[in-house]
Amino acid sequence: MSNHTTTIKKQCSSNSPADVDAVFSVNAISNQGADDTTTRVAVFSSTVRAGFPSPAEDYIEGMLDLNEHLISHPAATFIVRVAGDSMVGAGIYPNDLLVVDRSIRPAPGRIVIAMVAGGLTVKRLEIKNKRWRLVAANPDYPPIEISPIADGVEPEDCTIWGVVSSTIRKF
């Protein structure tokens, strides 16, 4: 199986509601005789205490493929890099990678990637007074009010690109 990746970048302007420096990876996968390049990582069965230490255990529970763990629907998934601090209260920080699944239905309470006023933004989707709102997880940012809801149809001034399913962060 060979894996060819095409990357498209979009930098949103600072005067838009965007806080996402989008990096879209589109994988074209074919079975043309190349070796499988899946990388698996060991998963220990013991937990790591965040308080007092516990005796170490030398038992490996199994192998973990991060692709399988983080990506439920590969054909409908893309990754974006975060720029900005509007979602720090939700544990999303600048330079985090967000795994975005387009197959998950946007619903109130979910964190979404949305195109608003020509720019991408990551916010929590809410409905208030029959209006869609994109709400930051940082009090320094006001909610972005979207068109009224019309029979469940997505508002014209906002396009939901997908639902954030995971965050990847390097220390």
**pLDDT per residue as tens digits for the range 114-141:** 988 888 999 999 988 878 899 999 999 9
The mean pLDDT value for 166-170 works out to 93
Is residue 37 predicted with pLDDT exceeding 80?
A: no
- 51-95: per-residue pLDDT in tens? 666 555 566 677 778 888 888 888 889 889 999 999 999 999 999
Out of 24-28, 64-68, 165-169, the most confident range is: 165-169
Residues in the chain: 171
Q: What confidence score (pLDDT) does residue 29 get?
A: 33
Evaluate the CA torsion angle 94, 16, 110, 138 in order and state its sign: positive
Interior angle at CA 67, CA 62 and CA 72, nearest 5? 105
Residue 141 DSSP code = S
Contacts of 132 (CB under 8 A, 6+ apart): 125, 126, 145, 146, 147, 149, 155, 158
Residue 4 has which token pair? Answer: 């060819």
Residue 126 has which token pair? Answer: 């809410």
Out of 23-37, 98-112, 120-134, the most confident range is: 98-112
Is residue 159 predicted with pLDDT exceeding 60?
A: yes
Q: What confidence score (pLDDT) does residue 8 get?
A: 33
Distance CA 138, CA 88 (A): 6
Answer whether 0.75 is exceeded by the pTM.
no
- Please report where in the chains the tokens 């709102």 appear, as a residue: 133
Which residue did the predictor score with more confidence, 90 or 7? 90
Is residue 165 predicted with pLDDT exceeding 60?
A: yes
CATH 2.40.33.10 for the 2-46+63-168 domain, yes or no: no
Residues with a known catalytic role? 86, 123
Percent of the chain with pLDDT over 70: 59
Torsion of CA 107, 110, 115, 121, to 10 degrees: 160
**Domain locations along the chain:** 2-46+63-168
Q: Residue 157's beta-bridge partner residues?
A: none
